[in-house]
């Protein structure tokens, strides 16, 4: 996820773009850059790190005559955070500058084609490829918009891009596919950005671009056309009523809620370029030149640990690789016996968690290959792991992790499929079903989230006064129960324990009474009858039960919450948001600080 902004108007463009970037910084903050035209000449300034570094560089420049420009704040997906990878990227001839949010899945193929035609690349990004693709398109097309249309028709993946060119010094062009791009319509000035807050201080009149559309704006005009046939699209100007702060949260009350609702997009991004079709194997080029591990040790903390515990059985079942899962703060202070063919897989959203990083270092010292599953490009774990696979979930602002776990689980599914295919242990039928089901997930999830939230809110009110809670599950639902309990305690401060439901009778059941409710996850799988019996054991002690079930499964409980089923283990992608929403709504109902719970930190860089 990155933030883009473009301005064409009558005022000095650079300070206005910098202000816009400040309100987009939540979308990415590892580097930033700006391009503008003065005397018809294109200039680009870029800096690594937060926006303040870019501001400092601009202080020494006279940029006061620029009234058109584009700006970008980056969240790295291809290439480490560095000036060379920061946007805008310039075409080889220096006349075109492009900013981009998204992922071009076939950029390697396009880059190879451009290299053959003599182009030179100065970054590792997909965006520089796109920029030169437009330049190449210009050679065989009559105009810049035609070159843009040609270039985006070559590109597979997701993009929201904005183009500034010396050829048309009064205009900005841009296009979108699966990444947001919104125009702001002003008087004598027009804007475009990934999100409304970037231009909200200047105009509330907006035009939402749809997939497959491209735009042209100047100071005094704007128009939208279709990429496929160049037909003009009649768009309506809408007026937004948000204030800047709520706009940053996309109209959601909290970042956590926004991030829960981002999960369909997170799944799409995580699968992008990796799961292509049922006829092609999973692509994880990061691992192609590495040996297939004989065993895997997953090491992580918090929510990332729960994701690892959920994914481990899939690696065993599909790839035939024995997997154990450990808490990083334990692993690092043991004297772990690592087998020569054992890989250590560290999972971390931030890539900076001190215990996970120390475990990585210990594993490497002992000669183990370390595979990192990480969200933050350029983080310590991403830099130090032997191979790193990025979850591509975008910045997670809420302290309580939600969308990161969804992306980690999706990546673990891909890893199990990848190794299973490489080793030949994966049944073809399983592969086809998994592939179809994964591809269908984002749309299905998007469709059910609003109703799921309503049900969560209703249930939250009814359970919010509880002092303690059990979360029970078996098999793949046990790690989900751990995560459900973790979310409830960290957000609402209600004591909550996640348990393997079969363990209840070995002690914990002594706690059950009418005031100690249990949330039981009883999905439509082989373990359903067992979980059902465990629920009955709780009910026999007069315990109140809220059961999460799949359609068609009969169960007697105080409250039954039906969530959709998906193929095989993928139903977890519906249970996870249900648990997140239940905790969110409980905490919000109790008036807790949802985005910043007491005593917690987003990134724990101390022991
Ligand atoms: C902190 C966060 C959790 C997170 C854990 C591990 O405790 O509050 O949400 O799951 O660290 O973080 P990591 O960045 O390594 O995934």
Instruction: Indicate if 277 and 163 belong to the same structural domain.
Output: no
Query: Is 596 part of any domain?
Result: no
Query: Is 597 part of any domain?
Result: no
Helix H or strand E segment including 387: strand 387-390
The model's pLDDT over 502-545, given as tens digits with 9 standing for 90+, comes to: 998 898 888 888 899 999 999 999 999 899 999 999 998 899 99
Instruction: Indicate if 169 and 300 belong to the same structural domain.
Output: no
The model's pLDDT over 225-235, given as tens digits with 9 standing for 90+, comes to: 999 999 999 99
- pLDDT band, residue 605 (cuts 50/70/90): low
Query: Is 554 part of any domain?
Result: yes
602 annotated active-site: yes
For CA atoms 558, 564, 567, 569, give the dihedral sign. negative
Give the whole-angstrom CA distance, residue 99 versus residue 73: 9
Instruction: Indicate if 230 and 338 belong to the same structural domain.
Output: no
Query: Is 598 part of any domain?
Result: no
* Helices 263-271 and 572-589: angle between axes, nearest 10 degrees: 150
Residue with the bigger pLDDT between 131 and 246: it is: 131
Q: Which atom of ligand 1 is found nearest the CA of 328?
A: 15
List the structure tokens of 168.
């048309």
Instruction: Indicate if 132 and 187 belong to the same structural domain.
Output: yes
For CA atoms 146, 149, 150, 151, give the dihedral sign. positive
What pTM does this model have? 0.77
The model's pLDDT over 22-44, given as tens digits with 9 standing for 90+, comes to: 888 877 778 999 999 999 999 99
Residue 607 pLDDT more than 60? no
Residue 247 pLDDT more than 70? no
Which of 260, 345, 347, 350 has the most ligand 1 atoms within 8 A of CB, as the residue to mutate?
A: 350
pLDDT in the model for residue 241: 67
The model's pLDDT over 559-594, given as tens digits with 9 standing for 90+, comes to: 999 999 999 999 999 999 999 999 999 999 999 988
- pLDDT band, residue 463 (cuts 50/70/90): very high
State which of 220, 246, 272 marks the end of a domain. Answer: 246
Query: What torsion do the CA atoms of 362, 363, 366, 369 make, to the nearest 10 degrees?
Result: -150
- pLDDT band, residue 221 (cuts 50/70/90): very high
Q: What's the total number of domains in the chain?
A: 2
User: What distance in angstroms lies between residue 242's CA and the mean position of ligand 1's atoms?
Assistant: 31
Percent of the chain whose predicted confidence (pLDDT) is above 70: 97
- pLDDT band, residue 162 (cuts 50/70/90): very high
Instruction: Indicate if 238 and 265 belong to the same structural domain.
Output: no
Instruction: Indicate if 103 and 138 belong to the same structural domain.
Output: yes
DSSP conformation letters of 6-33: EEESSS-HHHHHHHHHHHHGGG--SEEE
Give the whole-angstrom CA distance, residue 541 versus residue 518: 12
Domain of 233?
3-246
Ligand 1 neighbours, Cβ below 6 Å, are 301-304, 348-350, 353, 356, 399-401, 600, 602-604
Residue with the bigger pLDDT between 541 and 341: it is: 341
Q: Which atom of ligand 1 is found nearest the CA of 300?
A: 15
Q: How many residues does the chain have?
A: 607
CATH of the domain at 288: 3.40.50.10490
């Amino acid at each position: 996820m990155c933030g883009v902004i473009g301005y064409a108007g009558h005022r000095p463009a650079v300070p206005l773009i910098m202000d816009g970037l400040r309100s987009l910084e939540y979308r990415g903050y590892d580097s930033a850059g700006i391009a503008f035209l003065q005397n018809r000449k294109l200039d680009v300034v870029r800096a690594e790190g937060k926006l303040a570094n870019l501001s400092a560089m601009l202080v020494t420049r006279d940029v006061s005559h620029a009234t058109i420009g584009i700006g970008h704040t980056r969240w790295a997906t291809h290439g480490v955070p560095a000036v060379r990878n920061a946007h805008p990227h310039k075409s080889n001839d220096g006349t075109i500058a492009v900013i981009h949010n998204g992922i071009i899945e076939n950029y390697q193929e396009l880059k190879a084609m451009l290299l053959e035609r003599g182009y030179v690349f100065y970054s590792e990004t997909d965006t520089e490829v796109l920029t030169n693709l437009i330049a190449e398109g210009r050679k065989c097309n009559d105009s810049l918009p035609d070159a843009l249309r040609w270039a985006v028709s070559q590109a597979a993946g997701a993009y929201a891009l904005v183009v500034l060119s010396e050829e048309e010094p009064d205009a900005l062009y841009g296009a979108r596919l699966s990444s947001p791009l919104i125009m702001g319509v002003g008087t004598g000035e027009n804007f475009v950005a990934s999100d409304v807050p970037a231009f909200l201080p200047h105009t509330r009149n907006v035009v939402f671009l749809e997939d497959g559309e491209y735009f042209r704006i100047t100071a005094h005009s704007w128009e939208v056309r279709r990429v496929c046939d160049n037909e003009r699209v009649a768009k309506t100007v809408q007026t937004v009523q948000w204030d800047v702060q709520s706009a940053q949260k996309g109209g959601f009350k909290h970042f956590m809620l926004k991030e829960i609702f981002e999960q369909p997009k997170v799944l799409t991004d995580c699968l992008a370029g990796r799961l292509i079709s049922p006829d092609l194997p999973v692509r994880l080029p990061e691992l192609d030149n590495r040996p297939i591990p004989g065993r895997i040790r997953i090491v992580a903390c918090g929510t990332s640990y729960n994701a690892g515990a959920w994914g481990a059985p899939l690696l065993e079942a599909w790839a035939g690789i024995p997997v154990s899962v450990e808490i990083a703060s334990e692993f690092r202070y043991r004297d772990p016996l690592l087998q020569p063919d054992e890989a250590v897989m560290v999972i971390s959203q931030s890539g900076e968690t001190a215990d996970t990083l120390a475990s990585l270092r210990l594993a490497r010292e002992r000669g183990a290959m370390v595979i990192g599953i990480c969200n933050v490009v350029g983080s310590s774990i991403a830099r130090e792991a032997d191979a790193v696979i990025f979850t591509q979930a975008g910045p997670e602002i809420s302290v309580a992790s939600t969308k990161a776990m969804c992306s980690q689980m999706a990546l673990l599914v891909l890893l199990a499929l990848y190794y299973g295919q490489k080793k030949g242990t994966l049944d073809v039928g399983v592969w086809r079903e998994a592939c179809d089901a994964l591809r269908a997930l984002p749309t299905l999830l998007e469709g059910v989230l609003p109703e799921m939230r309503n049900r969560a809110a209703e249930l939250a009110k009814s359970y919010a006064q509880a002092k303690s809670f059990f979360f029970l599950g078996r098999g793949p639902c046990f790690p989900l129960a751990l995560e459900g309990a973790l979310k409830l305690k960290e957000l609402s401060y209600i004591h909550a324990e996640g348990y393997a439901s079969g363990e209840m009778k070995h002690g914990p059941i002594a706690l059950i009474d009418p005031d100690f409710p249990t949330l039981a996850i009883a999905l439509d799988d082989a373990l359903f009858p067992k979980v059902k019996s465990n629920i009955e054991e709780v009910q026999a002690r007069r315990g109140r039960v809220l059961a999460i079930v799949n359609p068609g499964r009969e169960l007697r409980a105080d409250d039954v919450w039906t969530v959709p089923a998906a193929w095989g283990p993928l139903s977890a992608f519906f249970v996870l948001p249900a648990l997140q929403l239940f905790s969110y709504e409980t905490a919000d109902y109790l008036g807790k600080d949802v985005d910043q719970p007491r005593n917690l930190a987003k990134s724990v860089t101390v022991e």
